[in-house]
Amino acid sequence: MGRRRRRREPADPGGGIGCHQHAKYPRSPIQTRPMDRKDIRNLRRWHRAAALRAREAGFDIVYIYATHMYMLAQFLSPQHNQRSDEYGGSVENRVRLVRELIEETKDAIGDTCAIAVRMSADDGTGTPEQPVSEDRREMFEILAELPDLWDVNIHNYEHEMGVSRFVKEASLENTMNYVKSITSKPVVTVGRFTSPDTMVSQVRRGIVDFIGAARPSIADPFLPLKIKEGRGDEIRECIGCNICYTGDSLSVPIRCTQNPTMGEEWRRGWHPERIQPKSSDATVLVVGAGPAGLEATRALGQRGYQVMLAEATTELGGRVTRECRLPGLSEWGRVRDYRVHQIQTMPNVDIYLDNDLDADDALSLGADHIVIATGSTWRADGYGRYHKTPCLNLGPAEQIFTPDDIFMGRVPQGKVLVFDDDHYYMASVLTEALVAQGAEVCFVTPENLVSAWGVMTDEHYQNQQRLLQLGVQIITAHGLDEFDGSNARLSCVYTQQTRLLETDAVVLVTSRAPRDSLYKEIAGKLESASPGAGPIPTLDKIGDCDAPAIIAAAVYAGHRYARELGADGVRSDVGRQDKLFVPD
């Protein structure tokens, strides 16, 4: 997959200065040159040859890709294209290269392959009220009947690929809805469609002829089949977190929060829907009903094991239930809902809410296997990436807050300093929640950007924009060194120069500690159990209780535990601390 570019770049001077600001791909000191006639002739020749190779390789549909500010989109753009020859200036001229490529590709392979064009419905020069320029509409009119299929997206990639916190389902519609009135050819679009009702509505209302779905089919590759068979309540709906996109950003294998089998179909042989049946009549106790415990329970239940799920609180979902109540994160609740829905249909799974187990409770249940998924707690001592040891000068405890305090309803008032040493969504979402409750927030981070890891999920821009729009004071590249109850001392990460900031409270979003005391207690008892005292259960820990991480990692750990229980051989230690596997 290529790199997509952002919308708000200045007009590009003719030669094509590397002009796209992206935190992941900073402005490049490398310039290009305008293509001359020979370059264009070569490109057309190469494109034709590539189309022929694609047909030979067995493809049925070949694209002319004229969007995402790749080269063809730059030819179309009234801003980027500053040529004075027959490929620049008027709409006819700017559209010429795309038209030639469509015609030549059709000529080469059009007898056996469909030719699709992907082009954005707008060119980024419009307004929210009127997103589509006359210029872009004319381009669609000129090309209308040439391709066999129109694949229409929008210019703003952050919007198109937006996370659910900022962009809601099917939100491309207002920009691309005119295209079908211009062409008789079929039209498809994307837009993180997750609900079959929304999809059907767009088709029925004549917005599109069929639905494009990338993230929804990562979350559930059997989405079309489930819709077709009327199994809508079995769909694992995408939550719009963009963890899948981090694989692209970090050049590592893809992961999905909702679908732990994503990327493991071949490597581990994990089918997204099917799982091997249980290998014995052993019983399993799962402690903790966060994403790790819920997924372990669901997948063990699917295998046919007798499972007891014990949860300390009166709610299922753990951190997902807490976090999905924060501004913009409601769709994250689907991580819980999908699993709870599945578990509730399983007669071999028993759920015990309001059961804060200790080691004796856990052992007294007599399970053959115990898996601890008790999660983690946010630290209140400043320890994290900035402070390598607990910070001792953080002022009166009643003026120090953690995300857990806020979840429990202990909320700071007045002037609040949010110290983000976690660098993902938590600090910025909490900031938004605090501002909504009337606090005057200053956001401090040792990084150069707000929620810097959000660059990996392509949400950093909207994140920083949101805080600025809310009037939050942002101080980057500074750490929090001390707080005396009225002033916080910050220091610059580059110069170590300090400054004082008046504040009533400090929210520490730094790091989390595994909640693993139950695991340790049980492990201690098992170690000291006298031989001959009866069968000894296996003991494991998974998810945040093992190593605090993102929700996707907890779901994955739960799934992996369930897959590997009773399997032959030794488990590898990827993502786990315990290396030895004891077959049941």
Binding site for ligand SF4 (CB under 6 A): 215, 218-219, 238-244, 256-258
Q: CA 367, 370, 373, 378 torsion: positive or negative?
A: positive
- Phi, psi values for residue 501, rounded to 5°: -135, 125
Q: How far is CA 259 from the centre of its chain?
A: 12
Q: In which element (H, E) is residue 524 found?
A: helix 517-528
289 binds ligand ADP (CB under 6 A): yes
Q: Rounded to whole angstroms, what are the CA distances from 221 to 152, 163, 192, 234? A: 22, 20, 14, 12
What does the alpha-carbon distance between residue 584 and residue 581 come to, in Å, rounded to a whole number? 9
3-class DSSP state of 176:
helix
Nearer to ligand SF4, 14 or 247 (CB): 247
Would you state the structure tokens that stand for residue 53, as one six-digit string?
């190779």
239 binds ligand ADP (CB under 6 A): no
518 binds ligand ADP (CB under 6 A): yes
Least distance in Å: CB of 254 to ligand SF4? 8
Q: Which of residues 290-309 bind ligand ADP (CB under 6 A)?
A: 290-293
Nearer to ligand ADP, 80 or 515 (CB): 515
Contacted entry of ligand ADP, ligand SF4, none for residue 240, CB cut-off 5 to 8 Å set by kind = ligand SF4
What does the alpha-carbon distance between residue 121 and residue 174 come to, in Å, rounded to a whole number? 10
192 binds ligand ADP (CB under 6 A): no
Our CA dihedral for 179, 182, 187, 192, rounded to 10 degrees, sits at: 10
Least distance in Å: CB of 172 to ligand SF4? 16
Q: Which listed residue (544, 552, 561, 584) binds ligand ADP by CB under 6 A?
A: 544
Least distance in Å: CB of 94 to ligand ADP? 51
Nearer to ligand ADP, 6 or 515 (CB): 515
Considering only the stretches 41-49, 80-88, 282-290, 297-305, report the one whose residues sit in contact with ligand ADP under the rule CB under 6 A.
282-290
Q: Which listed residue (118, 515, 541, 563) binds ligand ADP by CB under 6 A?
A: 515
Nearer to ligand SF4, 77 or 164 (CB): 164
Least distance in Å: CB of 272 to ligand SF4? 12
Would you state the structure tokens that stand for residue 123, as one six-digit string?
């060119």
Considering only the stretches 217-225, 352-360, 395-403, 431-439, report the one whose residues sit in contact with ligand ADP under the rule CB under 6 A.
352-360
Least distance in Å: CB of 540 to ligand ADP? 12
Least distance in Å: CB of 333 to ligand SF4? 12
312 binds ligand ADP (CB under 6 A): yes
Q: How many CB atoms lie within 10 A of CB 357?
A: 22
319 binds ligand ADP (CB under 6 A): yes
Q: At what angle do helices 291-303 and 551-564 cross, to 10 degrees?
A: 30
**Options 25, 63, 65, 70, the catalytic residue:** 70
356 binds ligand ADP (CB under 6 A): yes
Q: Is 70 a catalytic residue?
A: yes
Contacted entry of ligand ADP, ligand SF4, none for residue 311, CB cut-off 5 to 8 Å set by kind = ligand ADP
Q: Which residues pair with 502 in a beta bridge?
A: 487
Nearer to ligand ADP, 240 or 548 (CB): 548
132-136 long-range contacts, CB within 8 A, separation 24+: 132/175, 132/178, 133/78, 135/78, 135/91
Where do the DSSP E strands lie in 142-242?
Answer: 149-153, 187-189, 210-211
- Specify the pairing of strand 487-492 against strand 498-502: antiparallel
- Number of residues engaging ligand ADP in binding (CB under 6 A): 26
Contacted entry of ligand ADP, ligand SF4, none for residue 243, CB cut-off 5 to 8 Å set by kind = ligand SF4
Are 514 and 544 spatial neighbours (Cβ–Cβ below 8 Å)? yes
Q: Rounded to whole angstroms, what are the CA distances from 60 to 98, 105, 114? A: 20, 13, 6
Enumerate the H helices of 185-259 as residue ranges. Answer: 196-204, 215-219, 223-228, 243-250
What does the alpha-carbon distance between residue 433 and residue 54 come to, in Å, rounded to a whole number? 51
550 binds ligand ADP (CB under 6 A): no
Q: Which of residues 113-132 bind ligand ADP (CB under 6 A)?
A: none
3-class DSSP state of 85:
coil
Q: How many CB atoms lie within 10 A of CB 559?
A: 23
Least distance in Å: CB of 373 to ligand SF4? 20
Q: What angle do CA 280, 285, 288 make, to 5 degrees?
A: 145
- Using only C-alpha atoms, the chain has a radius of gyration, in whole angstroms, of 27
Nearer to ligand SF4, 258 or 464 (CB): 258
Nearer to ligand SF4, 81 or 463 (CB): 463
Least distance in Å: CB of 510 to ligand ADP? 17
- Specify the pairing of strand 376-378 against strand 512-514: antiparallel
Q: In which element (H, E) is residue 549 found?
A: none
412 binds ligand ADP (CB under 6 A): no
Q: Rounded to whole angstroms, what are the CA distances from 188 to 68, 155, 176, 293, 380? A: 16, 16, 10, 39, 50
Q: CA 305, 311, 316, 320 torsion: positive or negative?
A: negative
Q: Which listed residue (190, 357, 391, 452) binds ligand ADP by CB under 6 A?
A: 357
375 binds ligand ADP (CB under 6 A): yes
Are 68 and 157 spatial neighbours (Cβ–Cβ below 8 Å)? yes
Least distance in Å: CB of 331 to ligand SF4? 9
288 binds ligand ADP (CB under 6 A): yes
Nearer to ligand ADP, 198 or 355 (CB): 355
539 binds ligand ADP (CB under 6 A): no
Nearer to ligand SF4, 240 or 566 (CB): 240
Contacted entry of ligand SF4, ligand ADP, none for residue 510, CB cut-off 5 to 8 Å set by kind = none
Least distance in Å: CB of 546 to ligand ADP? 8
Catalytic residues: 70
**Binding interface with ligand ADP (CB under 6 A):** 287-293, 310-313, 318-319, 355-357, 373-376, 515, 518, 543-545, 554
